[in-house]
Amino acid sequence: MYLKTLYFGLISVLLITSCKQVSQDQALKQDIEVSTNKGLKDWSDLPIGGAINISKVLKDSKLDSITHTNFNSITATNDMKMYALVEHDSIPDFTNVDRLVAYTQKHDMRLFGHALVWYYNVPEWITNMTNKKGAAWADAYLKKYITTVLTRYKDDVVAWDVVNEAFADKSGEFRDEFWFNTFGKDYIEKAFRYAHDADPDAKLFYNDFGHERHPEKLNGIVAMVNDLVKRDVPIHGIGLQMHLEMDTTEKAIANALKLAASTGLLIHISELDIIFNTRDENAKDKPKITTLTHDMEMAQAEKFKQVVMLYRKHVPKTQQFGITFWDFNDRDTWIKPFYDLKEWPTIFDENLDPKPGYYGFLDGLTTGLENATE
């Protein structure tokens, strides 16, 4: 094992990688080797997760290595979603999920299930059958689907995003989509009860995005969660996706964490990445950023540091379910194809080498909380 100290402006991190100290610029000009013996998870007292496509991981030895070295929790990006399991008919195809289970068991990782009910890409055959047979058929199928999936993986998956993104993008109103149009908001309670009946030991989460940028949305989510808890609906946690933009303030992040934690439930930063451009359609005239500079990398490193420090500061230890990176490398990130942007939102670059953000995040895991800024 070797020691190397990397500096990012005011960020100073001790890592096991080299026998001498190197400057910030020197470190950025060379491939930075991550110790094969230590990764992010080994510096952390909270779970550190990565979202993966299992097929890509199994075909790429470098991706495989950084995955099991750095993370002790795994989420499937798409392989456990309804459209992946029952795309064409009601008989689930569990091939990729079984491979995920085998992978996480091999490396002693937690497997987090994502997501049982989501509005996006509901299989067309389900909408067609509902149009023909009505809400009663959809209710029966939803129960059968959730029961089948959770029963199969009851000993393998510790927690689930039961409902994903039920609220509109920027408000506290429920999203106008298939599940809501079929059942009203009752579909959320149904899904949680069906999941709990199938696996009483699993931790069940509601997951969504934009809490930090749209307080009215977070208020709506927290009100819904508190209502579910009050009525003894089995919900155990809130997933804050945290698809952040560089101009998202630390104060906004802290406020989202504090309000979510006020529910007393487990809090999971579930899909962390940080972009330089904006997703706001109202800012179409804002010039797109197409080149990554040294200063941008340093600023992003500080942002990753602050996110983990704010999580540690504002979420009580007993409520810390962990932090998960979504597509944790710039090569595979969902951001670029989905938004048609040239972006660098993660902690590994396109060559799967660690970026300054990796070390900024690591610094945030180990730095005293008095240095959290908000």
Phi, psi of 267 (to 5 degrees): -120, 125
Q: What is the tens place of the pLDDT at every residue in 338-365?
A: 988 899 999 999 999 999 999 999 999 9
State the chain's mean pLDDT as an integer: 90
Give DSSP secondary structure letters for 79-96.
TTSHHHHSSSSSS---HH
Q: Are 142 and 122 in contact (CB under 8 A)?
A: no
In our burial notation (b when 16+ CB lie closer than 10 A, e otherwise), range 153-183 reads: beeebbbbbbbbbbbbeeebebbeebbbebb
Q: Are 49 and 323 in contact (CB under 8 A)?
A: yes
Q: Which residue do the tokens 């952390």 mark?
A: 44
Q: Which of 22, 34, 113, 36 is nearest to 73 (CA)?
A: 113
Report pLDDT digits (tens) over 229-264.
999 999 999 999 999 999 999 999 999 999 999 999
pLDDT of 100? 98
Count of C-beta atoms within a 10 Å radius of residue 250: 17
Rounded to the nearest 10 degrees, what angle do helices 135-152 and 124-133 cross at? 140
Amino acid at 98: D
For residue range 313-347, list pLDDT tens digits in order: 999 999 999 999 999 999 999 999 998 889 999 99
How far are the Cα atoms of 207, 252, 262, 338 from residue 234, in angstroms, in the given order? Answer: 15, 29, 17, 33
Among positive and negative, which fits the CA dihedral 318, 105, 144, 91? positive
Q: Which residues are marked as active site?
A: 271
Taken in order of first residue, the domains within the chain and their CATH numbers are 43-371 (3.20.20.80)
Q: What pLDDT shows up at residue 355?
A: 97
Which pTM value belongs to this model?
0.90
Q: Contact 187/179 with Cβ under 8 angstroms? A: yes
Strand partners, 275: 245
The mean pLDDT of 182-194, rounded to a whole number, is 98
CA–chain centroid gap for 334, Å, is 12
Measured distance CA(343)–CA(273) in Å, rounded:
11
Output the pLDDT for position 332.
97
**pLDDT (tens digit, 9 = 90+) per residue, 43-73?**
999 999 999 999 999 999 999 999 999 999 9
Does pLDDT of 303 surpass 70?
yes
Helix, strand, or coil here: 44? coil
254: left (phi over 0), alpha (psi -120 to 50) or beta: alpha
At residue 284, the pLDDT reads: 62
**Could you say which DSSP state residue 275 is in?**
E
Whether residue 11 is predicted with pLDDT greater than 90 in this model: the reply is: no
Percent of the chain clearing pLDDT 70 (strictly above): 89
- The number of beta carbons lying within 10 Å of the beta carbon of residue 19 is 8
